[in-house]
Chain A
Amino acid sequence: MAEAIMGFTISSPHIHSSSLQPTKLDVTHMTSSTRSLRQCSSSELFSGCKQLEIGKKSKRVPLSRTNAFPDWPLMAVLVEHIEGQRDLITHKSIVHLSDDNIKSVYTAYIMFTCWGCLFFGSMKDPYYDSEQYRKDGGDGTGHWIYEKQEDIEESARSELWREELIEEIEQKVGGLRELEEAVKKEEQLVK
């Protein structure tokens, strides 16, 4: 988080702590327009932050990075005086995130959304809860693949065989009938 804030650090040209704490360059400089406040933010984000003694007469060390908003306050402290009571101090701080971190936050949000859509979307679904989806698959044979084509063709062929047999029998019967009729006609002729 310290780095996250770093990109948007607004370093006042007058106040710079790098000379005082060269090893703490990475650490966020707490800058404020109100110099009276020499205190880190109390927010958790800045928990790693040490209270910095800001040197009053620090050298101007040009930073390698440019500050986009040099004079924007990051913190605001409102002190309201109410008579007869203690002062009411409202302490506001603004956190700036880097591009990468914004991206990470959005990524996390999108992932959560997608996961949520899938998870909660599948919690209750008439199709997935239906017999259509939940029943045992297949055609009841318990086989993994169904090679039915050969069986269908085989039964068709045996059907064909039966058809031919019936035709043959019919022809024979027809022939017999013709013979019988011819015999009858002859008998009639003889009579």
Chain B
Amino acid sequence: MATTSLLPNSLSPFLTNTTSFPSTHFPKFSFLNPLDHPHCPKRPNLHTTHAKKKNPWLDPFDDGEDPDMEYGSLFVDGKQDEDDRPPENPDNPYGFLKFPMGYSVEIASLALKVRGDVRRCCCVVSGGVYENLLFFPVVQLLKDRYPGVLVDIVASARGKQAYELNKNVRWADVYDPDEHFPEPAEYTDMVGLLKGRYYDMVLSTKLAGIGHAAFLFMTTARDRVSYIYPNVNAAGAGLFLSETFTPDSTNLSEGGYNMYHQMVDWLARPSKTVPRQPVPPLKVSISKKLKQVVESKYKNAGVNKGKYIVIHGLESDSKASMQSKGDTDSLLPIQVWAAIAGGLREFRPIFVIPHEKERENVEEVVGDDASIVFITTPGQLAALINDSAGVITTNTAAIQLANARDKPCIALFGSEEKGKLFVPNTEQKNCVIVSSKTRKLKDIDIEAVKNAIPIFNMSLALV
């Protein structure tokens, strides 16, 4: 009985203080007027552009969106707010309640759930540097579509390095989703970590079977969105996922630049009053520190800013060659590179080696005065390309970085189709694609590459 007498006393200052909150937040509390909002469909987000067969296991009573539904005043139109924290209230008896961004529990109303607000999003990205680099537009799209969303990344150790170039990402954690049998300790650790961050949405680009789907399910996110296997391996995965995409082949990377197009389609889908979100281009940002480090590196190699051409795609068994998983034939031996670099007149070629053991080979073939720089991370490669006059490369991350930084680029591909896949709209990007006639990169026409070299001078003239 003592508690009942104490309760109003302890609560009264708080209740009086609620008036100091802006009144716009107040009507969002749907429990105040439940009759106003009689029926909420559980998953309005699943209204996709493709008419997809629903999984009856998920919710047998989900018949899709109700066309006759009237959204009451509780439903807030448009996109979510950037940061919906209430103003700080020093008079609050509970002290200075300051929740971190994205965790403001006290005003997350049901209507916001209906609208499908995403405050924290986790992206499990499969693959290496190339795949993660191509995921950048998706991250930007998330940021644009859900203002104020905190994007976290879970990627392999190699792929994680790419996020040095991305300003939109909060945490990037190392966990290789491609590993078939992860160490139990790592697995449980990551599940606990992700669950403890209370994500609203989990995106996964790994082709999910039932195992990976269960992993995503255990993060307890509201939207568990993943690619699934296009074959029988996907059996059971749909049970744990709220949205699935079926790729055309078992290798997602074969889709080239637009390898995540299904996911992008779904993320950019128009909702009630929000139009379709345009997909941003790939952009990378390079920090000052990175630029300084790389500048000292290429100064040591004996070249000056803007006076060199980056040559990337040296054949090596190193893991740092930054190839795409969708194009395995994408490295050239140093002899071919030396022949190509011989065609450069105004600029000095700088050879990027992915491993120190390659230095000898390059010096042997090109000569001892060759400019060689040892770079393994995409961040440093991007900074190197940023200060260069242009890039000659095979199908490695260097192409995408050059395009992202608007540098002229000669891209060597094994076949024309691959070139079109990985570098769409070539003209805009100031990029020349030279492809091999025999569908083997080794047989590439060196003269054709040399003929394309004037592209660097043109860009110089323009500047």
Where the two chains meet, the residues of A that have a C-beta atom closer than 8 Å to any C-beta of B are 150, 153-154, 156-161, 163-164
Dominant secondary structure of chain A at its interface with chain B = helix
In the complex, 24 of the A-B residue pairs with CB atoms within 8 angstroms, ordered by the A residue number, are A150-B171, A150-B172, A150-B173, A153-B163, A153-B164, A153-B171, A154-B170, A154-B171, A154-B172, A156-B164, A156-B287, A156-B289, A157-B163, A157-B164, A157-B166, A157-B167, A157-B169, A157-B170, A158-B167, A159-B287, A161-B167, A161-B168, A163-B285, A164-B285
Minimum CB–CB distance from B151 to chain A (whole Å) comes to 10
* Chain B interface extent, by class: 10 to 19
B345 part of interface (Cβ distance < 8 Å): no
Chain B residue numbers with a CB within 8 Å of A154 are 170-172
Q: Binding site of B, secondary structure by majority: helix, strand, loop or mixed?
A: mixed
CA distance A157 to B167 in the complex (A): 5
Is A153 within 8 A of B167, CB to CB?
no
> Using Cβ atoms and an 8 Å threshold, which residues of chain B touch A153?
163-164, 171-172
Binary flags per residue of B86-113, CB closer than 8 Å to A gives 1, else 0: 0000000000000000000000000000
Inter-chain contacts of A161 with B (CB < 8 A): 167-168
Taking A153-B164, A156-B164, A157-B163 as contacts, is the C-beta distance between A163 and B288 under 8 angstroms? yes
Which residue among A156, A157, A164 has the maximum number of chain B CB atoms within 10 Å of its CB? A157
The 7 closest A-B pairs by CB, nearest first: A161-B167, A160-B167, A160-B287, A164-B285, A150-B171, A164-B167, A160-B285
B173: chain A residues within 8 A (beta carbon): 150
Question: Are the C-beta atoms of B172 and A163 separated by less than 8 Å?
Answer: no
Indicate with 1 or 0, residue by residue over B147-175, a CB within 8 angstroms of chain A CB atoms. 00000000000000001101111111100
Residues in B neighbouring A159, C-beta threshold 8 A: 287
Min CB distance, B219 to chain A, in Å? Answer: 17
User: Which residues of A lie under 8 Å from residue B288 when comparing CB positions?
Assistant: 163
Q: Mark B400-436, 1 if CB is under 8 A from A, else 0.
A: 0000000000000000000000000000000000000
A151 to chain B, nearest CB (A): 9
Return the chain B residue nearest A167 by Cβ.
Answer: B285
Q: Which residues of chain B in 167-194 are interfacial with respect to chain A, using CB atoms and an 8 Å cutoff?
A: 167-173
Give the contacts of B360-395 with A (CB-CB under 8 A): none
Besides the known contacts A150-B172, A156-B287, A164-B285, 10 further A-B residue pairs in the complex with CB atoms under 8 A apart: A150-B171, A153-B163, A154-B170, A154-B172, A156-B164, A156-B289, A157-B164, A157-B166, A160-B285, A161-B167
